[in-house]
Amino acid sequence: MTSDPRTVERQALAFEDDRGSSRSRWIAGALVFALSGWMGSGFVLPSEKVKVAETSVVPRMVTVAVRQSQAEPVTQYLAAEGQAQPDRDTVILTETSGEIGEVLVRKGANLERGEVIARFNLADREADLARAEAEMQHAQRNFETAETLLERGIATVTRVSESRAALAVAEAQLSAAKEVVDTTVIRAPFAGRLETLSIDEGEFVAASADVGRIVDNTPLTVTIQIPQQSLRRVKVGQTATVTFITGEVREGEVAFVGTSANAETRTFLAEIEVPNEDGAVPAGVSAQVRIPTGEVVAHFLSPAILSLDTDGRLGVKTTGVDDRVAFHPVEIIRAQTDGVWVTGLPEAARIITVGQGFVNDGEMVDPQPEVSSALEPAPLSEVQDGTDDGAVAAP
């Protein structure tokens, strides 16, 4: 009977004798070896890129323009705004009451000391004066008669004493009457200009009435306020240049420096006495005062050269002998229309004038001389101070 094919044991296929199977193993091994060799070639054989990196060139240094600068002595100024005040300014008061008899001058007149401005009506006062003079003469005769009779033995000592007392009273009354007459004359208390006059002939004026104002503006006194940080720099006797708003320029002298600060502004009052013999400068006008307060050594440069460091300090960048950038904090001591004077730099410095914004402190640069420099300090007469320290920066 034939066996069931489903019961026949299955036999595994074997390819030991197959040539294709052996060839595949050799090919796979060759591929693995080739791939491993290619991946490791970067460590064994340097690439072209590595060679390029090893031979790369150092970046070129930044080129900047520089200018040699030498420090110069510069005068510092304190600048302040002030107002011209008259040397003396007072109102004119009457000493008595009565009717104005005559007015001898006009408003605006230049008066000498003691010059008569006006007179009261003297009718009543002259009568009183005449009566006092008559009484004094009568008392004088009675006294002389009493002394004569005493010498002859007719009068007594008591009568002489009474006559002497009556004479003294009469003399006092006469003196008072003369003083009353004197008070009827209104005079200028000092030499000056009569700014106001408010009386007319026939007008009745009470005692102690304000009838005018007289001003003496020779010399003028210019008052300014000094900041507390600048107080020690201003002394009595220092010279000052005063420019009035009228265009007049006068030389003056510090006549007073206060020692008590204003509670609100913390400034100190100072007064500058300015000659004004011709009276050309009126009182009350504004004025600018510049007081030289010392001398410092500074460099003159354009404000465009200034820069800020990382801490916000104002300074100037320079280069040294090794062409390395150095940042120097500076202080502006004077500002002019064409530049500024600064301190904080060495006496001789090579200042970076172009390119300073592209380099930092400590960097190496390629400095090149500035092509041209039109920056020259202006004459001192053209200087305009900008702060209190002339530093006023002072303009």
Please say whether the dihedral angle defined by the alpha carbons of residues 277, 280, 286 and 289, taken in this order, is positive or negative.
negative
Q: Are residues 251 and 388 in the same domain?
A: yes
Q: What is the reported pLDDT for 281?
A: 92
The pLDDT of residue 312 is above 70: yes
Q: Are 177 and 132 in contact (CB under 8 A)?
A: yes
**Which of 164, 179, 205 is at the close of a domain?**
205
The pLDDT of residue 386 is above 50: no
Domain for residue 47, yes or no? no
Q: What is the reported pLDDT for 97?
A: 85
CA–CA dist 273, 252 (Å, integer): 5
- Condensed to tens digits (0 to 9), the pLDDT of residues 329-352 reads 999 988 888 899 999 999 999 999
CA–CA dist 244, 252 (Å, integer): 12
392 or 31: which leads in pLDDT = 31
Q: What is the reported pLDDT for 264?
A: 92
DSSP state of 11: -
What confidence tier does 392 reach under pLDDT thresholds 50, 70, 90?
A: very low
Domain for residue 53, yes or no? no
State pTM to two decimals.
0.58
Q: What is the reported pLDDT for 160?
A: 76
Q: How large is the average pLDDT for residues 288-295?
A: 92
Termini Cα distance of the chain: 136
CA–CA dist 238, 341 (Å, integer): 23
Q: What is the reported pLDDT for 2?
A: 47
**Which of 205, 232, 262 is at the close of a domain?**
205
The pLDDT of residue 28 is above 60: yes
- Condensed to tens digits (0 to 9), the pLDDT of residues 41-62 reads 655 555 555 454 455 555 678 8
Q: Are residues 182 and 307 in the same domain?
A: no
Q: Are residues 144 and 252 in the same domain?
A: no
Q: Are residues 105 and 254 in the same domain?
A: no
Q: Are residues 105 and 233 in the same domain?
A: no
CATH number where 361 lies = 2.40.30.170
Q: How large is the average pLDDT for residues 199-205?
A: 91
Q: Are residues 285 and 183 in the same domain?
A: no
Q: Are residues 253 and 173 in the same domain?
A: no
Q: Are residues 276 and 141 in the same domain?
A: no
Residue whose entry in the numeric block shows the structure tokens 């120097």: 328
Q: Are residues 273 and 162 in the same domain?
A: no
Q: Residue 60: which residues within 8 A CB-CB, separation 6 or more?
A: 366
Q: What is the reported pLDDT for 57?
A: 56
Domain for residue 234, yes or no? yes
Q: What is the reported pLDDT for 20?
A: 56
| Mean pLDDT score of the chain | 82
Q: What is the reported pLDDT for 169?
A: 84
Domain for residue 224, yes or no? yes
Q: Are residues 154 and 94 in the same domain?
A: yes
Q: DSSP letter string over 80-117? A: EEEEEEEEEEEEEE-SS-EEEEEE---TT-EE-TT-EE
The pLDDT of residue 302 is above 80: yes
Domain for residue 252, yes or no? yes
How many structural domains are present in the chain? 2
The pLDDT of residue 128 is above 80: no
CA–CA dist 308, 327 (Å, integer): 9
CA–CA dist 206, 208 (Å, integer): 6
CA distances from 265 to 98, 223, 225, 261, 270 (A): 48, 15, 9, 8, 14
Structural domain for 285, as ranges: 62-89+216-395
Domain for residue 46, yes or no? no
The pLDDT of residue 107 is above 60: yes
**Which of 205, 227, 258 is at the close of a domain?**
205
Q: What is the reported pLDDT for 52?
A: 47
Domain for residue 225, yes or no? yes
Q: Are residues 113 and 175 in the same domain?
A: yes
Q: Are residues 80 and 98 in the same domain?
A: no
Domain for residue 104, yes or no? yes
The pLDDT of residue 27 is above 70: yes
